[in-house]
């Protein structure tokens, strides 16, 4: 996934969005439960163990999710889990609303931990980071393209209408509640994008959302800014952990398509270049201005968003 979309699904026939980004935890829970059941049937574990595995999924998932995102944000376990989870949820909402490129957005945040550490309070200058987040966010046209459902909007509206008037008819075609729920979400997102009206309005909304989140993030960073933290991580260690958790290079579909086109003509230089870059995707620390400019130049254009590789 390049530009963040919680409803993103790599499968064009996944009308119920069962394999969407947002649905991945539920899919993982189902897989774990089925695996535990298989082990029970094979008498590798007993029923009590199978139940324990199933019941332990969500606590383990939340713990690992927080651990991963704290690393991506240069945070430690010093913060309360509930508060850090709320901060993460607000970040994911801002990413989804703005359609920001996920890789670029996290790299844009890299300068903030040191700025907060150097300040006497959490009230730091956000302009540079905010400007980068705006660059990482999509235009209105690109947002509409990214939110475009696999099925025509008219068909989605018909499904929603039939879910109330004739649900049995939908069931005949294998359309269940998950498909109806996904249809409602997709239409709501399209309507919200259409209501913005112009790029100016979208940029203003995105800027407000990012600024509000950045202030909350800076306040949280300030709790880490007094040197060594509860888990023994200094600022330099947290920055290194952040850099090692946020790749500066990811294989993007338009880059892969360009490499394929050249390879089909016998030129494999671009393939080798992508392979070399993919083997060393991380930077040792926060991205500098030259690196940021190169990254922005490599983000997909609106036309490149139509490229889908399978």
Over the stretch 253-269, which tens digit does the pLDDT of each residue have? 999 999 999 999 999 99
- For the residues 224-245, what does the mean pLDDT come to? 78
CB-based contact 102:4 (threshold 8 Å) = yes
Q: Is the distance from CB of 17 to CB of 23 less than 8 angstroms? A: yes
Scanning the structure block, which residue is given the tokens 């969500």? 58
Say what the pTM is: 0.88
* Residue of 163, 114, 125 lying closest to 16 (CA atoms): 163
> Residue 238, exposed/middle/buried by CB under 10 A (0-12, 13-18, 19+)?
buried
- Residue 127 scores a pLDDT above 90: no
pLDDT of residue 226 exceeding 70:
no
The residue among 177 and 62 whose pLDDT is bigger is 62
212/206 Cα distance (integer angstroms): 10
Mean of all residue pLDDT scores within the chain: 90
- Percent above pLDDT 70 for the chain: 95
What is the per-residue DSSP string for 46-108? -HHHHHHHHHHHHHHHHHHHHHHHHHHTT--TTS-HHHHHHHHHHHHHHHHHHT-BHHHHHHH
Question: Does the pLDDT value for residue 129 go beyond 90?
Answer: yes
| 8-state DSSP, 301 | P
* Residues near 23 by beta carbon (within 8 Å), at least 6 away in sequence: 17
The predicted pLDDT at position 231 comes to 53
pLDDT score at 7: 81
Q: In this structure, what token pair is assigned to residue 308?
A: 């889908």
Q: Please report, for the chain, the start and end positions of each structural domain, with discontinuous segments joined by +.
A: 24-306
pLDDT > 80? residue 181? yes
Give dist(CA 146, CA 4) in Å, integer: 9
């Amino acid at each position: 996934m390049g530009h963040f979309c919680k409803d993103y699904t790599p499968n064009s026939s996944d009308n119920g969005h069962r394999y969407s980004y947002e649905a991945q935890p539920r899919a993982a829970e189902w897989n774990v439960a089925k695996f535990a059941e298989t082990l029970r049937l094979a008498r590798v574990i007993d029923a009590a163990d199978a139940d324990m595995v199933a019941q332990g999924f969500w606590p383990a998932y939340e713990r690992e999710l927080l651990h991963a995102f704290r690393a991506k944000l240069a945070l430690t376990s010093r913060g309360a889990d509930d508060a850090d989870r709320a901060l993460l949820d607000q970040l994911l909402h801002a990413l989804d609303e703005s359609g920001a490129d996920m890789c670029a957005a996290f790299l844009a945040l890299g300068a903030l931990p040191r700025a907060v550490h150097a300040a006497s309070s959490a009230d730091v200058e956000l302009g540079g980071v905010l400007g980068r987040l705006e660059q990482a966010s999509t235009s209105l046209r690109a947002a509409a393209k990214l939110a475009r459902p696999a099925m025509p909007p008219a068909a989605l509206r018909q499904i929603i209408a039939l879910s109330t008037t004739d649900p049995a008819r939908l069931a005949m075609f294998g359309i269940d509640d998950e498909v109806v729920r996904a249809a409602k979400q997709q239409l709501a997102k399209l309507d919200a994008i259409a209501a913005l009206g112009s790029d100016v309005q979208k940029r203003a909304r995105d800027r407000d959302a990012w600024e509000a989140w950045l202030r909350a993030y800076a306040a949280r960073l300030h709790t880490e800014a007094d040197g060594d933290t509860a888990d023994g991580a200094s600022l330099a260690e947290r920055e290194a952990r952040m850099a090692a958790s946020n790749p500066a290079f990811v294989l993007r579909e338009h880059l892969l398509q360009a490499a394929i086109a050249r390879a089909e003509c016998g030129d494999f230089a671009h393939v080798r270049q992508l392979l070399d870059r993919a083997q060393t995707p991380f930077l040792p620390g926060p991205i500098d201005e030259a690196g940021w400019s190169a990254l922005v130049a490599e983000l997909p254009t609106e036309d490149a968003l139509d490229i889908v590789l399978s």
